[in-house]
């Protein structure tokens, strides 16, 4: 009888030890698995399909930094990221983007990297069955777009980086620059998902401040030019645009209209200021591009599951001022320095370095 009891006790102790061991080592096992995957990356070639929504300074900057960071990570890991033969620009045309994504899937790319919300949504739909990893860049509201279940736990094959805009911070800068504002123009493309939330927030902010606003929209360069003319005719004293790719594409064609009318243009990205707008505020797109590339490497080299990789939202806080435009508008932007984590000065150009 004693032998039987002793045998049972030993069996229970062993079982308990095994259960405790399994619970304690699950994280370690995952770490070991990722380390083994990274070690096996030596000499491997990964096909990276990059799909840019449209040609503009913001998105071009993201792509350039994704590519340069992938080159750096390739050297560090002894592998190759092939992207040159798998990069496409969709020219803001959904039919074209769908064709591009289909071709990339047929090319058996290892990951899709869509730049901007419309492109990310097309990639998501195209990978529901094949579950090719999708790492998006510059999606302002991934949850609202239905790309992820939540930013903290995507829960699918889709994750990436977000350029969510702090609209209130931009408008705070606008009011600090001119505390007597009576009328503000809102310039955006109704078809851009990235603009919907910020424009709603801007209206709420301006209504609370007792400031009149005028909305003008456009989804082509010609329509944006007409919208800018309409805002000038309406007598607005400042214009706000969120991280809107359509307006970004047209900025080089409208900034002089606003300067001639004495109207500062406040926007949701530094690249707007590079293309002539008075001030851009928000995400540093160079950093965003690098972080996107880092996530690609985490998935391909380290073997991480996109479903478990939280969306990375970069901190806002840097204002970029076009000094030429500021001088033309006779605006003193030094008063804004204390309201930002940083203030960068640029002059008008077509692209960032």
Instruction: Please write the tens of the pLDDT for every residue from 150-192.
Output: 999 999 999 999 999 999 999 999 999 999 999 999 999 999 8
Mean of the per-residue pLDDT values of the chain: 90
pLDDT digits (tens, 9 = 90+) for 96-139: 999 999 999 999 999 999 999 999 999 999 999 999 999 999 99
Q: Which of 6-15, 110-119, 131-140, 248-257 has the lowest mean pLDDT?
A: 6-15
pLDDT of residue 283: 80
pLDDT score for 350 = 77
- pLDDT exceeds cutoff 90 at 2: no
253 pLDDT exceeds 90? yes
Which tens digits make up the pLDDT trace of 33-90?
A: 555 555 577 899 999 999 999 998 889 999 999 999 999 999 999 999 999 999 999 9
The single-letter DSSP state of residue 55 is -
Query: Both tokens of residue 27?
Result: 């994280």
pLDDT-derived band of residue 12, with 50, 70 and 90 as boundaries? very low
Q: Which two tokens stand for residue 295?
A: 């996530």
Per-residue pLDDT, 1: 40
Of 225 and 341, the one with more pLDDT: 225
Q: Classify the C-alpha dihedral 274-246-104-289 as positive or negative.
A: positive
Q: How far apart are CA 41 and CA 76, in angstroms?
A: 11
Residue identified by tokens 């040609």 is 55
Average pLDDT on 304-323 reads: 92
Q: Is residue 31's pLDDT more than 60?
A: no
Looking at residue 41, its pLDDT comes to: 75
Alpha helices in the chain (DSSP H): 2-39, 57-77, 94-106, 117-126, 167-177, 193-208, 221-234, 245-260, 270-274, 285-300, 323-329
Q: Which residues contact 8 (CB under 8 A, 6 or more apart)?
A: none
Tokens found for residue 318: 């840097």
Distance of alpha carbon 229 from alpha carbon 216, whole angstroms = 10
For residue 241, give Cα distances in angstroms to 132, 204, 281, 314.
34, 15, 10, 19
Which of the two residues, 23 and 238, has the higher pLDDT score? 238
Q: Is the pLDDT of residue 6 over 70?
A: no
Res 37: pLDDT: 54
Residue-wise burial string across 123-159, b where 16 or more C-beta atoms lie within 10 A, e elsewhere: bbebbeeeebbbbbbbbbbbeebebbeebeebebbbb
pLDDT given at position 303: 96
What's the pLDDT tens digit per position in 293-306? 999 999 999 999 99
CA atoms within 13 A on the CB side of 340: 24
> 57-77 and 245-260 are packed helices; what angle lies between their axes, rounded to 10 degrees?
130
> Helix 285-300 vs helix 57-77: angle between axes, to the nearest 10 degrees?
40
**Which one has a higher pLDDT value, 27 or 267?**
267
Partners of 88 in beta bridges: 51
Q: What is the pLDDT of residue 150?
A: 94
* Dihedral, CA of residue 97, residue 103, residue 107 and residue 110, to nearest 10: 30
Domains and CATH numbers, the chain: 45-164+285-313 (3.40.50.2300), 167-282+317-346 (3.40.50.2300)
Buried b (16+ CB within 10 A) or exposed e, 254-277: bbebbbebebbbbbbbbbbbbbbb
Separation of alpha carbons 283 and 319, rounded Å: 9
């Amino acid at each position: 009888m004693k032998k039987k009891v002793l045998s049972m006790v030993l069996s229970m102790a062993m079982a308990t030890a095994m259960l405790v061991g399994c619970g304690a080592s699950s994280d370690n096992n995952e770490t070991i698995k990722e380390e083994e995957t990274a070690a096996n990356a030596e000499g491997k070639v990964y096909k990276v399909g990059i799909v840019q929504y449209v040609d503009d300074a913001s998105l071009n900057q993201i792509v350039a930094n994704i590519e340069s960071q992938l080159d750096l990570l390739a050297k560090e890991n002894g592998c190759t990221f092939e992207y040159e033969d798998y990069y496409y620009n969709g020219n803001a045309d959904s039919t074209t983007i769908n064709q591009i994504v289909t071709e990339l899937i047929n090319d058996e790319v290892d990951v899709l990297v869509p730049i901007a919300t419309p492109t990310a949504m097309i990639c998501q739909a195209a990978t529901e069955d094949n579950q090719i990893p999708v790492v998006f860049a510059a999606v302002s509201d991934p949850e609202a777009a239905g790309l992820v279940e939540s930013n903290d736990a995507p829960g699918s094959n889709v994750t990436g980086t977000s350029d969510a805009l702090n609209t209130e911070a931009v408008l705070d800068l606008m009011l600090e620059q001119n505390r007597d504002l009576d009328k503000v123009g809102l310039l955006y493309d109704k078809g851009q998902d990235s603009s919907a939330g910020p424009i709603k927030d801007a209206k709420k902010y301006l209504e609370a401040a007792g400031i009149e606003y005028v909305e003008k929209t456009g989804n082509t360069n010609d329509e944006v030019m007409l919208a800018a003319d309409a805002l000038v005719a309406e007598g607005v004293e400042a214009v706000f645009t969120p991280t809107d790719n359509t307006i970004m594409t047209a900025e080089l064609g409208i900034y002089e209209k606003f300067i001639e009318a004495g109207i500062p243009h406040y926007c949701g990205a530094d690249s707007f200021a590079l293309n002539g707008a008075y001030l851009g505020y928000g995400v540093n797109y160079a950093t965003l591009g690098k972080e996107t590339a880092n996530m690609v490497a985490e998935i391909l080299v380290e073997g991480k599951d996109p479903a478990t990789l939280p969306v990375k939202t970069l901190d806002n806080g840097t204002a970029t001022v076009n000094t030429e435009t500021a001088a033309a508008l006779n605006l003193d932007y030094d008063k804004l320095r204390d309201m930002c984590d940083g203030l960068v000065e640029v002059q008008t150009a077509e692209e960032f370095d």
